[in-house]
A and B are shown apart, each in its own frame.
Chain A
Amino acid sequence: MSASAPPPFQRFLQEQRAPVWRFLVASVGPVDADDCFQETFVSALRAYPRLRADSNLRAWVLTIAHRKALDVHRARARGAVPVAEPDDFERDRVPPPQPRDEALWEAVEELPARQRSAVMLRFVADLAHREIADAIGCSEDAARRSLHEGLTKLRKAVPA
């Protein structure tokens, strides 16, 4: 088996789109997730031939998704992009969804960017600590710390 090329992009897309989608929906909400999803996979496609065959594809694409999500949060912080209305969420789901966990959403939204990403990459995209560190560009220890601090804040913010 040649190790010189990553798998055909279509297969990569099939395999990675669900974790990327979940991560983005959890990070920026379903409405902005659509644009972020486009941007993530278009960036991935552009860079794809330079990728080594033995790269960790999931961690790599979630690194990109993480950056795109950060862009959205930065834009929101500047007031450029309004946070999507609940109505927009509802039409994305058939049949009627479980009620959104608003308290948790808000608490996640309040977290500092790195903690928010660490929490989402761990529990929504199922990445290991090492992969989280790669995705957000820090040491494994720092990733662990961000995750821990993020979880601690969430536990405080969201009553049991």
Chain B
Amino acid sequence: MSPTTTKNGDRVEDRLRSLAPGATPGMDRATERLLARVHDQHLADVSYAPVDSPFGPLLAAASERGLLRLAFPEEDIDSVLELLARRCSPRIVESRPALEPARRELDEYFSGSRSAFDLPLDWSLMSDFGRRVLRVTAEIPYGGVSTYKEVATDAGSPRGSRAAGNALGSNPIPIVIPCHRVLHSTGGLGGYGGGLDRKQFLLELEGAPLSGRPQVRGSARITSGPRTRRR
């Protein structure tokens, strides 16, 4: 630091500016300590963390009530979090420990050793109708499939297949609430918010009756597949 002399005052100002370092290990340690405290004392309303999956890293978010949101890798993280800030609470903090139960159950599910999720869920991001549709959907067993029409009927709107399809398409917790198990009455795959390849992948993972397609008839009740293969 050689005192190339400018005005005396400028020098004091420059020296003030260099009084505090920029990013330092100290700041990172302080941030880690802060986040640990936020977690221990439950100071955040929503916690989030990335969770590995065969599709790439999913973004999982949970409130104190349970898992709130699971986002596919191509979804924009900032938009997902901003929506949560508006709809739930802006007290959103990244926390891997808070999402550990979700990570564990998803790992087990993708490795084929788990056929039902025991995680508590937070249903607050859904509309009333969406919640009814998704509660019905959550009852479709592993390895089984249903149809838009049946789900709509069980949700109390027998003529609401299309609306049920929309509700399934905006499922905030895909995979865990198995909207991939809902197919067209004709046996076609129907749609999937995460892409049809993933729907197919999940159904195959679960050993659902897919190959012949016509196994799923319009009037069929929920079809149970080979239920307890590996458990």
- Select the stretch in B79-87, B140-148, B153-161, B219-227 that faces chain A: B79-87
Residue on A with the closest CB to B7? A160
Q: Assess the B30–A119 pair: CB atoms within 8 A.
A: no
Does the CB pair B20–A26 fall under 8 Å?
A: yes
Task: Write the B1-40 contact mask toward A (1 if CB under 8 angstroms, else 0).
Answer: 1010100110111011111111111110111011001100
Residues of chain B contacted by A34 (CB below 8 angstroms)? 26, 29-30, 33
Contacts of B19 in A (CB 8 A): 25-26, 101, 104-105, 108, 123-124
In the bound assembly, the distance between CA atoms of A120 and B16 in angstroms comes to: 8
A22, B43: Cβ atoms under 8 Å?
no
- Closest CB of chain A to B47's CB: distance in Å? 10
Bitwise interface map of A from 25 to 45 toward B, beta carbon under 8 Å scored 1, else 0: 110001001100110011001
A18 at interface, CB cutoff 8 A: yes
Contacts of B38 in A (CB 8 A): 42, 45
Query: Please, how many angstroms separate the alpha-carbon atoms of A45 and B89 in the complex?
Result: 11
Choose among B20, B44, B82, B84 the residue that contacts A45 (Cβ–Cβ < 8 A): B44
Give A78-96 interface residues, CB cut-off 8 Å to B.
Answer: 92-94
B85 near A8: Cβ-Cβ < 8 Å: yes
Main secondary structure of the interface of B (DSSP, over half): helix
Question: Whose C-beta in chain B lies nearest to the C-beta of A157?
Answer: B12
* Residues in A neighbouring B48, C-beta threshold 8 A: 10
In the complex, the chain B residue whose C-beta lies closest to that of A18 is B23
Q: Mark A102-114, 1 if CB is under 8 A from B, else 0.
A: 0011001000000
- Are A11 and B81 in touch, CB under 8 angstroms? yes
B17 touches A123 (CB 8 A): yes
| B116 lies within 8 A of chain A by Cβ | no
Asked if B91 is an interface residue, CB under 8 A from chain A, the answer is yes
Given A11-B81, A45-B38, A123-B13, CB of A38 within 8 Å of CB of B30 = yes
Task: Name A7's contact: one of B30, B85, B94 (CB within 8 Å).
Answer: B85
**A22 to chain B: which residues have CB within 8 Å?**
20-22
Whether A33 contacts B26 by the Cβ 8 Å rule is: yes
For the complex formed, measure the closest distance between the CB of B113 and the CB atoms of chain A, giving whole angstroms.
Answer: 32
Most buried by B among A5, A23, A30, A124: A5
Q: Is residue A17 within 8 Å, beta carbon to beta carbon, of the partner chain?
A: yes
Residues of B contacting A139 with CB < 8 Å?
none
Residues in A lying within 8 Å of B, measured CB to CB: 2, 4-11, 13, 17-18, 21-23, 25-26, 30, 33-34, 37-38, 41-42, 45-46, 48-49, 51, 92-94, 97-98, 101, 104-105, 108, 119-120, 123-124, 151, 154-155, 158, 160
26 interchain pairs, CB-CB under 8 A: A8-B82, A8-B84, A8-B85, A13-B31, A13-B93, A18-B27, A21-B30, A23-B20, A25-B24, A25-B26, A30-B24, A33-B30, A34-B26, A34-B30, A37-B30, A41-B34, A45-B38, A45-B93, A49-B45, A49-B89, A93-B26, A98-B18, A105-B19, A124-B19, A155-B12, A160-B3
If A38-B30, A45-B93, A151-B13 are given as contacts, then 16 extra A-B residue pairs at C-beta distance below 8 Å, sorted by A number, are A5-B90, A8-B85, A9-B92, A10-B92, A21-B20, A21-B27, A23-B20, A25-B24, A33-B26, A34-B29, A42-B43, A45-B44, A45-B91, A92-B25, A97-B21, A155-B9
